[in-house]
Structure 1
Amino acid sequence: MQTQIKKWGNSAVVRLPATMLAQLNLSVGSPVDLKTEGDRLVIEPSLNREYKLSDLLEGITPDNLHESIDWGEAVGREVAA
């Protein structure tokens, strides 16, 4: 099936036919993952993923590490003693 990329505000969108969504058991608002494979755009239903803290921490680099933020003193029970 061929379709077109359209402009919607500041974004680009691709309309998906209702029959295709139904075939994939998707609906408006369903989470999907986008990726490229070579010169192809792949749209897949998002899977419920479990993340490990160690895997997430491995992704932190000096380039994407933000500075520490001083939020002030605790005002409630934010910090357990």
Structure 2
Amino acid sequence: MNNIKNQTRIIQWGNSMVTEIPSYIVKQLGLEDKQALTVTIQNNSIVLTPIKKQPTHIHDIFADWQDDGQRDHEVDWGKEEGNEWPW
């Protein structure tokens, strides 16, 4: 993790206070518009942590998968051994 230091300001926005996150930080962390974050206080500092969206369906997991044309049948991965998702 890089110790990036950047200056920003807190401004009034309605009943809340907001700040900007520089675009290079957004890009480095892979954040998206309307990204959910947790806000915590650690050692007298504000810490914003992205909440990773968890897939709820197998189709979410493979939404961007491109078929490589290598198989014409299902692959047998063997019996369940642990924390597999119940489909």
TM-score, normalised via structure 1 length: 0.54
- C-alpha separation between the residues in 1 aligned to 2:32 and 2:53? 16
Secondary structure, counterpart of 1:33 in structure 2: strand
Compared with structure 1, are the counterparts of its residues 21 and 3 closer, same or farther at alpha carbon in structure 2 (3 Å cutoff)? same
Task: Give the C-alpha shift of residue 47 in structure 1.
Answer: 3.3
Q: Write out per-residue CA displacement over residues 1-44 of structure 1, whole angstroms, 9 at most, x where no aligned residue.
A: 01111111111001111111011000220111110012111011
Larger strand proportion, structure 1 or 2?
Answer: 1
- C-alpha separation between the residues in 2 aligned to 1:29 and 1:18? 14
Equivalent position to 2:7, from 2, 10, 13 = 2
RMSD of the TM alignment (CA)? 1.5
**Aligned pairs, number:** 49
| Partner in structure 2 of residue 52 of structure 1 | none
Listed as ranges, the matches of 1:25-40 within 5 Å are 25-40=30-45
Secondary structure, counterpart of 2:7 in structure 1: coil
- C-alpha separation between the residues in 2 aligned to 1:28 and 1:7? 20
Structure 1: 4+ residue segments shifted above 3 A: none
Point out where structure 2 has 5 or more consecutive residues left out of the alignment: 1-5, 55-87
Listed as ranges, the matches of 1:1-81 within 5 Å are 1-48=6-53
Task: Give the C-alpha shift of residue 48 in structure 1.
Answer: 4.6
% identity of equivalent residues: 29
Point out where structure 1 has 5 or more consecutive residues left out of the alignment: 50-81
